[in-house]
Amino acid sequence: MRRKGLWMLLLAVLLLWPASAVFAGEPTIYADGGQIFVDEDVSLEPGETLSGDVGVFNGDLTVPEGSVVDGSVFVTNGDAEVSGQVRGDLAVISGDLVLAQSGRVHGDVFVMSGDQEISGRVDGDLSVMFGDIEVLSSAVVGGDVVVLSGGLSREAGAQVRGEQMSEFPLPRVPLIPERSRIPETPARPESPKIPERPLAPTGLRHDTLGDRVSHLMGRVVSTGFMSLIFIATGLLIVVIWPKATHRVADCITAAPAQSFGLGLLTFVIAAVLESLAVVLMIIIILVAAALISTVILIPVGLLLILLSVLVLFPVILAVIAAMVLGWVALAEVIGRKVLQVLKADNVKSLGAVLVGLLLSVALAGTLWLFEPLCCGWPFIILLTSIGVGAVIHSRFGKQQCTGSGAPAEAGVLPIEAMDEEAGQPDAP
């Protein structure tokens, strides 16, 4: 099956060509040096040579002995009888093919929803889908013989120089209807008017107290579950990246107003970038649709459609990562303040983050629970803006942000300074 891809491409082209012929106003169309015949039978004269490709829609094709078609031939909703030569490929959709002993096809032969009787010579492959092939003793096939969901009969003496494959059962699906002529539409008598039936009055369904309670319980369960997941994620971030979280928290403490403004600006820029990404995705999809319409570039178009969604991910993922890290760092700051008020000593950063997450997540969950559209997302945006700004300012916690070199608590050095001075004598 060295030309399997060619046959699949040819099949797609032939399925699309009949749709374009519906808009033709003349029975014969000249395109790209070839001719397309619509709703008529075509028969060449003996000895006649027809240059270019030939297409026949809703009609039969007859190529008598001595006549030549110098190009490819495709026939849909009709039969083909070839006793002359076809110097190209031959395809018949929803019709039968008879290749006489004097007939010769210099390319491949493909038939779908029809039978083949081959007595002449085929230089390329011989394939059929949803039909039978009868290879007579005088036939010569230079390529493969492939039968998809059909039968193969080969007489003794028939020459097949390629492979012979016929065990491919497929469900028979009528892809193309039988040949049909467009009759003149008679004048349709006016149908009697059906009296309109008045609609039954419908009343609005009011939510009962039980419905409201069930909706509230469902929101409580979902909010509590998501809150537990976020708290566990925040604690995991502190355990994995303690220094990065501490740097962002120091940046929030040292420059809260600057971090808040930078965070709001980051959300605005992210919204603009995401809008541009949506426009770019639409452009990519339009280009992919244009490529798909060319049939040959269908795989490229489908790949572009799949990859177009990826342009939305970078901005969204970066903003989500900044929001989570900033929220965790802000929770550490809140936990420190609360523990200072409670006069709790010797509490590690993990404990401060846990206290801050419990307070902030509980407040956000409460607002989301009772007013999910009004105050949920605005509160989350405002709450995380200061953390997002600190994350951007500290390059996701990779460096100490400007203005946070002095620690928030008097007399306490940041982690980096404590590591540097470890083992050195105190200076007066």
* pLDDT tens per residue, range 169-212: 555 444 444 444 444 445 555 555 555 555 444 444 555 777 77
SS (H, E, C) 242-260: HHHHHHHHHHHHHCHHHHH
Backbone angles phi and psi of 198, in degrees to 5: -65, 140
The secondary structure of 273-291 as a DSSP string is: HHHHHHHHHHHHHHHHHHH
Q: Which residue has the tokens 């900033």?
A: 326
Q: Where does residue 92 rank: exposed (0-12), middle (13-18), buried (19+ CB within 10 A)?
A: buried
In the structure encoding, which two tokens stand for residue 421, read together? 């001075």
pTM of the model as a whole: 0.44
To the nearest whole percent, how much of the chain has pLDDT over 90? Answer: 14
In the structure encoding, which two tokens stand for residue 306, read together? 């799949």
Residues of the chain with pLDDT under 70: 1-33, 167-207, 293-296, 370-377, 402-428
Backbone angles phi and psi of 336, in degrees to 5: -60, -50
Could you tell me the residue ranges of all domains in the chain?
Answer: 4-168, 219-412
Instruction: Give which of 401, 15, 7 is closest to 177, Cα–Cα.
Output: 15
The rounded distance, in Å, linking the Cα atoms of 153 and 132 is: 8
The rounded distance, in Å, linking the Cα atoms of 307 and 29 is: 39
pLDDT value of position 81? 94
Q: Which residue has the tokens 């230079």?
A: 142
In the structure encoding, which two tokens stand for residue 349, read together? 């950063």
The rounded distance, in Å, linking the Cα atoms of 152 and 133 is: 5
Q: Could you tell me how far CA 204 lies from the centroid of its own chain? A: 40
The rounded distance, in Å, linking the Cα atoms of 231 and 247 is: 20
Give Cα separations from 211 to 205, 214, 216, 222 (angstroms): 11, 5, 9, 17
pLDDT value of position 108? 92
The rounded distance, in Å, linking the Cα atoms of 331 and 338 is: 10
The secondary structure of 2-32 as a DSSP string is: TTHHHHHHHHHHHHHHHHHHTT-SSSEEEET
pLDDT value of position 294? 67
Q: Could you tell me how far CA 16 lies from the centroid of its own chain? A: 22
The rounded distance, in Å, linking the Cα atoms of 366 and 227 is: 11
Q: Which residues in 206-234 are b (16+ Cβ under 10 Å) and which e?
A: eeeeeeeeeeeeeeeeebeeebeebbeeb
Answer whether 185's CB lies under 8 Å from 207's CB.
Answer: no
Q: Which residues in 159-192 are b (16+ Cβ under 10 Å) and which e?
A: ebebeeebeeeeeeeeeeeebeeeeeeeeeeeee
The rounded distance, in Å, linking the Cα atoms of 206 and 112 is: 59
- Residue type at 224 in one-letter notation: G
Answer whether 86's CB lies under 8 Å from 67's CB.
Answer: no
pLDDT value of position 215? 75
In the structure encoding, which two tokens stand for residue 343, read together? 């006069």
161 DSSP 8-state letter: -
pLDDT value of position 332? 86
